[in-house]
Amino acid sequence: MIQLRLAWWRERFNEPAAAWPPGEPLLAVLTAWDSERAVLASLVDGFEARHVGEDGGAALNLARVEAVAALARLSNVAVDAAIGHAAAQWLGLVGASGAPAKLPRAMRPLAILRGMTLRKASGRGGAPWQEFCALLRLGMFGR
């Protein structure tokens, strides 16, 4: 059953957004991603490989990193190694190595996700107010 659903999504992402059925709310939101449909299709392929295949989620993790890069492009941010590395850190694919690179303001949500993941991985979690302060600092300064 899951393969039928994934095949439907793959077919949608292989056609232009103008041809997508108008009654599907998620597709309506994703019309802004029309130029990045290939990335969306790779996410579908990654989910299929994870749930049906035997790759353990490697293809899905790679597709997620590419989706973050696509989001940066859609936000008019130049994609560089720092964005890819931050996405990989958020997903837990690589550990913390040195000080995290500063990301552009448009990618601040990624800086927050990366920072909180690195905090948790290093065991620096604490009381709820400490976590809130860390979130606030990451949101304001990006590090």
Half-sphere exposure of 66 (CA within 13 A, CB side): 18
List the domain range (segments joined by +) for residue 5: 1-74
> What is the predicted pLDDT for the residue at 89?
87
Rounded Cα distance between 4 and 133, Å, is: 45
Instruction: Answer whether residue 115 is part of any domain.
Output: no
HEC-encoded secondary structure of 8-61: HHHHHHCCCHHHCCCCCHHHHHHHHHHHHHHHHHHHHHHHHHHHCCCCCCHHHH
Instruction: Answer whether residue 80 is part of any domain.
Output: no
Which DSSP category does 100 fall into? Answer: P
Instruction: Answer whether residue 86 is part of any domain.
Output: no
Instruction: Answer whether residue 60 is part of any domain.
Output: yes
> What is the predicted pLDDT for the residue at 58?
87
Instruction: Answer whether residue 118 is part of any domain.
Output: no
Instruction: Answer whether residue 56 is part of any domain.
Output: yes
Rounded Cα distance between 105 and 91, Å, is: 20
Q: Do 16 and 34 form a contact (C-beta atoms < 8 A)?
A: yes
Rounded Cα distance between 84 and 62, Å, is: 10
What separation in angstroms does the CA of 1 have from each of 24, 35, 43, 46, 52?
A: 19, 29, 18, 16, 11
Instruction: Answer whether residue 50 is part of any domain.
Output: yes
> What is the predicted pLDDT for the residue at 18?
92
Which DSSP category does 99 fall into? Answer: S
Spell out the per-residue pLDDT of the chain, length 143, in tens: 888 999 999 999 999 999 999 888 999 999 999 999 999 999 999 988 888 877 778 889 999 999 999 999 999 998 888 898 889 888 888 877 766 778 888 998 998 888 888 888 888 777 888 888 888 888 888 77
Number of folded domains in the chain?
1
Instruction: Answer whether residue 59 is part of any domain.
Output: yes
